[in-house]
Structure 1
């Protein structure tokens, strides 16, 4: 089928595509060239290094079972959490955490980099600059390919102007920009393209069913599954495409029966592609099937749906509110698209929400939703068609205003996730998010809101009274006179001493409304892992029952080894309590932290 509007370069959807391509290229090449970043900010870091690990293991170091070479690479490039991308199987061999589909997609770009690395003067070790650049640039080109085919797919059902608006909304207004132009080496971008190609091929297969097109469908479904096992749901697309009712369902069954050999070919090709993973598992572990995600899994009966959609930590519609229009568009889909889009999108959302690590690491919004966007854009287009219907111009004005706001929000969050720095990966809270929203500079004290949801907002504290003080001068257990912060002694937390005592604080509900806990500290050196940052904690109990606990992480408030005094405020519990206490915990860190002048005040 010829492309609609192919007679001219200046159709609205093509202009929109090239605008989107320009933004994506500028973001990738100039705003945040990830291949130039170091350590865990590099292209080949964290999860991406895990997808990629097959290639240097098999083709450079010829060691895919023991990974003896990894320690030297890790020490040089620091791509992530040690050997976090593979685990030691009971056989004694290492097994990759992620399936090989993404590595196979990386292969041409890896090969080009490997051929050029040594002649360009770089180590041909799989992680030097040519490899980082090749994977980044390849990811950008794959993203543009996927967006082009998403446009082609939309044009089969919607007019040029609607498709143009959808492309602008998608690229400028959702986290698609983040996961194509910056972190495009993750699976979501590449799966977006596989899905766009699958839809394109499926439409052509039902126009003229040939063995080649059936094999292509099998290849795409198999490759998507080999990239991310839950993408086996991609098979829903060729199965449900175009079904608009019961009669169409019966017609489809008859079609499958008529073209049984072609359908069998598609299944055979998909199965052959997926079987590559079983061959690797057998080679690496002597088992045909290995669950490589170990302790990570799904809560199928208790999906984290509200968190996935609306949480400050990684809510899809919080960080990509433009997709609210797509959700609404599900109700406006024409019959031919309704069932395949609705069923696929809801199943994909359910799988995303069922994963126990529902925030997906450092996800800006829900990155696991991005690969489903080739289906969601049909719903977005349906909504825009409803907006464009004549007779109610207020809909266009309202949509335009909201779309502009959502585009600004998306571009702002994308900036803050990288050069801006106000987006704190994995740790966002509602209070902190609302505090920084729309700003380009922040006060360091606002970082407390990543740990505690309480903040005293009064103009001035009243009836301030100190109820507890500890300077550690008379304490011996856990204290040191070496490099004390104030006076002669400071409390020393380290690998051996993880807690201070829990000091009882003489405070009662009638004494005030708030308590302020303050502490002076110095790190040597600073702990950068936020899970292991030292916690200043206040607790309220009734008998043995914990009524309330609040804390802040100390290392958020220093750049290095400087001495700093911090405080945080907590409202007294509404429920009657009979004990209050404060303590400091080193949270499993082996870094030394000196503490001094621990104080508690009560106020109104």
Structure 2
């Protein structure tokens, strides 16, 4: 067996180990709690159920039903807030996961045929189980895509470490195992696929790839509106190419030697792909725009754009005063303070910036735009959030950065250090997840890094006591 085949075998084995750990955590939690859809996930799930079973998007009856559904784990209820008439969340996640919801429906019918009494109402456990499994499956598929993308530039071992780090030492881990009904795993899958097409196909020359990129970007925006900002990736690619051709023309290169070349001929080949991608992506946003217009009377009256004012802020977004340092380094869900390995990822991209200037420049710009948007939001700590959950969509960037970092120093001793470091940060992330899930630290209140570090030493006995005394 040659080295390439051996690498493939080990990659597959490690993939199955990751899948096994992820599914074990999810299934144990699902069994203990009794359901898989809770928190913000209810807001994503109920419009799908309402559309399929009621033929509308009013979710008050679903929320009313779920408000009487108690957790097996401590008896806590799922709905403890005011019951809304319509969901503030987009319909995109439900549409993406609708095939898995359908599998849940058929499983429910089969169980009833076998004599097991399970309500055929879109709200019983088989529907939730397969809906969440669909989210997990797409999230893991997204990580495989991340590996394939990084493998085009970096070594096998470095890419494995990169994927493992993002899988189990980033905020994505929590939303692949526990809060799987939220949109982050699916968002990561779509944006990872978008990035892969960007780096792996000649999309500038192929119309079908441009349409596909527009479809994926549009669907990602339909799932999480913040994802539409990744449109900057093809835009910067075209701008980079135009500048390069303009410089070549000015310096008398091949472009400059072509007689009769015009600015239109120089610019149009780049603008045409952007117009196709943009048109397709915008058209895919129209359904949600019209839904919001119908539900709330005006797109500008949707809760996301009104919540900031309702909470006493000048608006939902404060673009002139973004909390960038807090978003990245605060103990209150800070991305790099909660998940230090992701800072290593950014350092890795910077290290290879001279080798891959266009790739790194565009990826870092895309990441910076996500940081700025989150930092400008009135709720910059991202609500009840395990770390920087809103950056799960940047997983492709993080995998590339980690692979770059561990590949930058190819000596075997450095590779061993990379393995030890990745395992350490995976354990750190796992213990932090136990702190968060057990209530040892508040989910939506400020916490200092001092508290978090001190708690890491005592979280296991605290968590076990929490489990066995509920």
Query: Which interval holds the TM-score relative to the shorter structure?
Result: 0.7 to 0.9
Q: Structure 1 stretches of 5 or more lacking a match?
A: 87-93, 445-555, 561-604
Return the TM-score normalized by structure 2: 0.80
- Alignment of 1:342 with 2:364, yes or no, is yes
Answer whether contact 1:409 1:438 (CA < 8 A) is retained.
Answer: no
Q: How far apart are the structure 2 equivalents of 1:219 and 1:237?
A: 15
Answer whether contact 2:242 2:267 (CA < 8 A) is retained.
Answer: no
Given the alignment, which residue of 273, 279, 293 partners 2:290? 279
Q: How far apart are the structure 1 equivalents of 2:102 and 2:228?
A: 28
Q: How much has 1:371 moved relative to structure 2?
A: 0.8
Q: How far apart are the structure 1 equivalents of 2:171 and 2:62?
A: 36
Q: How far apart are the structure 2 equivalents of 1:330 and 1:80?
A: 42
- The farther-off stretch of 123-132 and 178-187 is 178-187
Q: How much has 1:231 moved relative to structure 2?
A: 1.6
Q: How much has 1:370 moved relative to structure 2?
A: 1.2
> In the TM superposition, what are the counterparts of 1:77-476 in structure 2 within 5 Å?
78-83=77-82, 86=84, 94-120=85-111, 121-206=117-202, 209-241=205-237, 247-248=243-244, 250=246, 257-258=268-269, 262-287=273-298, 290-293=301-304, 294-296=306-308, 297-332=316-351, 333=353, 334-388=356-410, 399-418=418-437, 422-427=440-445, 428-441=447-460
Q: Structure 2 stretches of 5 or more lacking a match?
A: 71-76, 112-116, 249-263, 309-315
Deviations along 1:146-195, whole A, 9 cap, x unmatched? 01111111122222222122122222332322222332332121111111
In structure 2, the CA distance between the partners of 1:57 and 1:406, relative to structure 1 (3 Å rule), is same
Return the TM-score normalized by structure 1: 0.64
Q: RMSD across aligned C-alpha pairs, in angstroms?
A: 3.3
In structure 2, the CA distance between the partners of 1:283 and 1:322, relative to structure 1 (3 Å rule), is same
Deviations along 1:523-582, whole A, 9 cap, x unmatched? xxxxxxxxxxxxxxxxxxxxxxxxxxxxxxxxx9xx99xxxxxxxxxxxxxxxxxxxxxx
Q: How far apart are the structure 1 equivalents of 2:242 and 2:274?
A: 21
In structure 2, the CA distance between the partners of 1:8 and 1:435, relative to structure 1 (3 Å rule), is closer
Q: How much has 1:204 moved relative to structure 2?
A: 4.4
In structure 2, the CA distance between the partners of 1:194 and 1:66, relative to structure 1 (3 Å rule), is closer
In structure 2, the CA distance between the partners of 1:118 and 1:105, relative to structure 1 (3 Å rule), is same
> In the TM superposition, what are the counterparts of 1:26-45 in structure 2 within 5 Å?
26-30=21-25, 33-38=28-33, 42-45=35-38
Deviations along 1:95-149, whole A, 9 cap, x unmatched? 3211111121121111221233244231122221111211221112101210111
Q: How far apart are the structure 1 equivalents of 2:45 and 2:462?
A: 39
Q: How far apart are the structure 1 equivalents of 2:273 and 2:343?
A: 39
- Partner of 2:86, secondary structure, is strand
User: Which has the higher relative contact order, 1 or 2, with Cα contacts under 8 A spaced 6 or more apart?
Assistant: 2
In structure 2, the CA distance between the partners of 1:435 and 1:204, relative to structure 1 (3 Å rule), is closer
In structure 2, the CA distance between the partners of 1:122 and 1:10, relative to structure 1 (3 Å rule), is farther
Q: How far apart are the structure 2 equivalents of 1:82 and 1:400?
A: 44
Bigger proportion of residues as helix: 2
Answer whether contact 1:219 1:273 (CA < 8 A) is retained.
Answer: yes
In structure 2, the CA distance between the partners of 1:115 and 1:279, relative to structure 1 (3 Å rule), is farther
- Alignment of 1:76 with 2:69, yes or no, is yes
Q: How far apart are the structure 2 equivalents of 1:153 and 1:251?
A: 30
Q: How far apart are the structure 1 equivalents of 2:21 and 2:421?
A: 25
Q: How far apart are the structure 2 equivalents of 1:273 and 1:6?
A: 46
Q: How much has 1:443 moved relative to structure 2?
A: 7.5
Deviations along 1:320-373, whole A, 9 cap, x unmatched? 111121121232232131211111111111212222222223322111111112
> In the TM superposition, what are the counterparts of 1:17-28 in structure 2 within 5 Å?
18-28=13-23
Answer whether contact 1:65 1:284 (CA < 8 A) is retained.
Answer: no
Q: How far apart are the structure 2 equivalents of 1:386 and 1:206?
A: 27
In structure 2, the CA distance between the partners of 1:69 and 1:251, relative to structure 1 (3 Å rule), is farther
Rg larger in structure:
1
Q: How much has 1:45 moved relative to structure 2?
A: 1.0
Aligned to 2:251: none
